[in-house]
């Protein structure tokens, strides 16, 4: 899809391709996601996923709901997905965006580039609205969503429990303009 140059604390470097994920990426996607499952509140999943789980998950994503990956020197270092918000027809133009960056690659601008690509993918397939659900206390993800133009539409109080603590979830929304608008 695209190559980009990103800025990090170490300086400017070229980031490799942002592209659609394939089944061959399932193990790397699981590895990145499982770090969040085991060590953060970025997801409320409590059990790690296998590569086979992620292959099935990838197969459930269609042209309107892609999964994208970012590579650095051939290594998948981040992924983003657009997932159907609801199976009710009235929500067919709305998707939820998720994004995870491999430990050791955060803070390099990869999340910005990947989120930008996911938003553009949503525009290209005619989605109207993207939703992000971000656990309170996840300041980097909130800043990233705000940078991309998402605005807070509400907070769901104590809707998840992880690591023995009740957690709030901030709901953020981006209304997309058509491509070229």
pLDDT at 177: 74
CATH value at residue 37: 3.40.630.30
- What was the pLDDT predicted at 2? 55
Percentage of residues of the chain with pLDDT beyond 90: 88
Task: Convert the pLDDT of each residue in 121-134 to its tens digit.
Answer: 999 999 999 999 99
Domain membership flag for residue 153: no
Indicate the number of domains in the chain.
1
Q: Per-residue pLDDT for 8 more than 50? A: no
In a domain, 171, yes or no: no
Tens of pLDDT, residue by residue over 25-82, are 999 999 999 999 999 999 999 999 999 999 999 999 999 999 999 999 999 999 999 9
Which residues form the domain of 54?
Answer: 2-127
Band of the pLDDT at 137, cuts 50, 70, 90? confident
Residue 134 lies in a domain: no
pLDDT of 4 above 90: no
Instruction: Indicate whether 45 belongs to any domain.
Output: yes
* Model pLDDT, residue 181: 60
DSSP the chain: -EEEEEEETTEEEEEEEEEE--GGGHHHHHHHHHHHHHH-SS----SPPPHHHHHHHHHT--TTS-EEEEEETTEEEEEEEEEES-SSGGGTTEEEEEEEE-TTSTTSSHHHHHHHHHHHHHHHTT--EEEEEEETT-HHHHHHHHHTT-EEEEEEEEEEEETTEEEEEEEEEEEPPPTT-
- pLDDT grade for 176, boundaries at 50, 70 and 90: very high
Average pLDDT on 172-177 reads: 94
Residue 63 falls inside a structural domain: yes
């Amino acid at each position: 899809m695209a190559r980009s140059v990103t800025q990090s604390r170490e300086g400017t470097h070229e980031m490799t391709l942002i592209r659609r994920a394939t089944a061959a990426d399932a193990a790397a996607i699981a590895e990145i996601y499982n770090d969040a499952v085991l060590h953060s509140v970025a997801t409320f999943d409590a059990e790690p996923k296998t590569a086979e789980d992620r292959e099935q998950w990838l197969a459930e994503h269609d042209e309107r709901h892609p999964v994208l990956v970012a590579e650095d020197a051939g290594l998948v270092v981040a992924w983003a997905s657009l997932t159907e918000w609801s199976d009710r027809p009235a929500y067919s133009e709305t998707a939820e965006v998720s994004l995870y960056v491999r430990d050791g690659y955060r803070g390099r601008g990869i999340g910005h580039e990947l989120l930008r690509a996911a938003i553009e993918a949503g525009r290209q397939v005619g989605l109207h609205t993207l939703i992000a659900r971000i656990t309170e206390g996840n300041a980097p993800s909130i800043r990233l969503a705000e940078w991309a133009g998402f605005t807070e539409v509400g907070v769901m109080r104590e809707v998840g429990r992880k690591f023995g603590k009740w957690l709030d979830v901030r709901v953020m929304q981006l209304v997309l303009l058509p491509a070229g608008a």
